[in-house]
Amino acid sequence: MITVNDIIKRIEELAPLSLSADFDNTGLLVGRGERQVKKVLVTLDVDEKVCLEAVKEGADLIISHHPVMFHAVKRLTENTPMERLLRCLISNDIALYSAHTNLDCAKGGINDLMAEKLGITDTTVIEEVYSQKGISEGFGRKGVLKEPMTLKELISLYKREFDVETVRYVGDEDRIIKTVAVNTGGGAFALDSLIGTDTDLFISGDFKYNQLRDAYENNLCIIEAFHYDSEKISMELFYDYLKNNFETLDVVKSKENISVIKYC
């Protein structure tokens, strides 16, 4: 029998809660650790639609990258989307576990997966959170491409690997890119630490206009990887990790969790 606690233990071997940022709300957020789990639904975001999907799928546990309840919830009526989500989870006895900034920082976590997909090797951590016995963990990764390519070629590679049709970018399309930094989701905060270094390109999201101007003026190329698009690979990571560690566990990726932002 596999329990919620069994799954939590294994996830936290990959992404310890100690790596979580102070503002974050990671861990078991709803449900009982002793609950038996036969089926898991993995998702980037969790809302009422995802909960109802879990009900339909017969899932006992939802594992999400983005957590809920960043702020106090003082009522459990049905007057807000958050309250309806929590009522849905509780009434259907579905547990919810979230691995967020700890998965961002972890060795083998979502930033390492992003670098791997883009052929970035010899990576180092951009913003260190933990270091011991030669192991460094933290936000973002920086490394070198297996083979240098133009910015235009790398944009095409990113769009293909992350299944997106649109990106914003800064820089000359013909520039040869060798050294690349990545930070999934909203990693624009790391921009200042990369300006003036040997970094040719920074791939991340949630940039403000003045930040893109700063990058341009300092000859640093940018591919703006929109938040959802760059972090939906968390579902792939969760799926593969759980299947590798629990052979009998049924794991499904959410189809209801989609990007709420549209482009035309």
Return the structure tokens found at 53: 């999907």
Confidence of residue 263 (pLDDT cuts 50, 70, 90): confident
Determine the pLDDT at residue 172: 97
In which element (H, E) is residue 154 found?
A: helix 151-161
Determine the pLDDT at residue 134: 83
Taking CA atoms, 18 is separated from 10, 22, 99, 102, 185, in Å, by: 15, 10, 11, 7, 20
Tens digits of residue pLDDT in 16-42:
999 999 999 999 999 999 999 999 999
What is the residue-averaged pLDDT of the chain? 96
pLDDT at residue 157 is higher than 90: yes
Q: What percent of the chain has pLDDT over 70?
A: 100
Taking CA atoms, 175 is separated from 114, 129, 170, 214, 221, in Å, by: 22, 32, 11, 18, 9
Confidence of residue 132 (pLDDT cuts 50, 70, 90): confident
Q: CB–CB of 201/223 below 8 Å?
A: yes
Give CA–CA dist 170/260, Å, rounded: 24
Give CA–CA dist 78/85, Å, rounded: 9
Determine the pLDDT at residue 50: 98
Strands 39-43 and 250-253: parallel
Give CA–CA dist 104/189, Å, rounded: 14
Question: Taking residues 136-146, what's their average pLDDT?
Answer: 97
Question: Taking residues 53-74, what's their average pLDDT?
Answer: 96
Determine the pLDDT at residue 264: 80
